[in-house]
Amino acid sequence: MTAVAQFLADAPQFLRNNHVQFKGQSPPTAGRYWFLLIPVQSGARRRLGVFLGKSIGKADAGAYEIRYRDASMLSADARRDGMEFEAQWSGYLAGGKAQCALDSSGPGIMLTPELTGCAIAFAATPDGRARFSHYNLKDGSRTLDGAGMVSAARDDYAGNRFGVLTKEHYYGKSTADMREGGAASVRPHARASANIIGWRKGGQWTFWSQYTDMKGQVRQILDVRQLAPGAWTG
């Protein structure tokens, strides 16, 4: 089975074993587009577990980039068969918000840019549809804090049971193996982030977060979790 086939068949399991990051040029607006899943040589590691705030083991992990197929910088070699797949793109607006509607048919994968300070919100319905928002809302040069992002989501999803993931949550994930002696104040590793995937399985949309950071020059997969409707941080 090709990597693309594995990714489409069980996106959460693929995220547990492989660092997967959207890179490069984005599609112009929200909608259905073709993408490439490209293996990269840079090493990655995955955390096997945490006990008392410390990692209890790590293992090698694969590493893949997802790139927009129509991006002009991609070579003909990168367009070879077996790497292509169709997905829903969430859209992205610098300094603002992008929203998309997900149908009960069509591509069963949704992509959005890596979260490095942004927030996302989502709501799924029993009829197999869903809504998704990517928030790059700012106060000056910085993205809004969790309270500001949740307030925006409440306005956009009024009357719906929705979930929100903010930077405070995925920044906090990277401190889990940094605590020493119960220190109350810890700093995350470099570039704590989250890679978000929407995955339709059994006719229902679910949303998954791959929490990552950098330790030295190595990208670490800290955790992979399904995001819960009704939760303000994930």
Residue pLDDT, tens place only, 103-113: 999 999 999 99
pLDDT for 73 equals: 53
Single pTM value for the model: 0.86
CB atoms under 10 Å from CB of 197, counted, come to: 23
User: What is the reported pLDDT for 191?
Assistant: 73
Binned at pLDDT 50, 70 and 90, residue 125 comes out as very high
Q: What is the pLDDT of residues 127-175, one digit of tens each?
A: 999 999 999 999 999 999 999 999 999 999 998 899 999 999 898 877 6
Number of helices (H), then strands (E), in the chain: 4, 15
- What pLDDT is recorded for position 192? 85
Query: Which position has the token pair 């990051």?
Result: 21
CB atoms within 10 A of CB 57: 10
Q: Which of 188, 185, 198 is nearest to 167 (CA)?
A: 188
Q: Looking at the predicted structure, is the pLDDT value of residue 230 above 60?
A: yes
**pLDDT at 76 > cutoff 90:** no
Domain ranges of the chain: 3-226
Q: What pLDDT shows up at residue 182?
A: 40
Report the residue count for the chain. 234
Q: Is 60 exceeded by the pLDDT of residue 209?
A: yes
What are the angstrom distances between the C-alpha of 77 and each of 33, 80, 147, 175? Answer: 19, 6, 45, 39
Q: Once rounded to an integer, what is the mean pLDDT over residues 71-86?
A: 65
Angle at 96 between CA 210 and CA 110, to 5 degrees: 35
Tens of pLDDT, residues 12-41: 999 999 999 999 999 999 999 999 999 987
pLDDT digit string, tens, across residues 35-67: 999 998 766 766 555 444 455 556 678 899 999
Task: Indicate the helix (H) or strand (E) that contains 220.
Answer: strand 218-226
R_g over Cα of the chain = 17
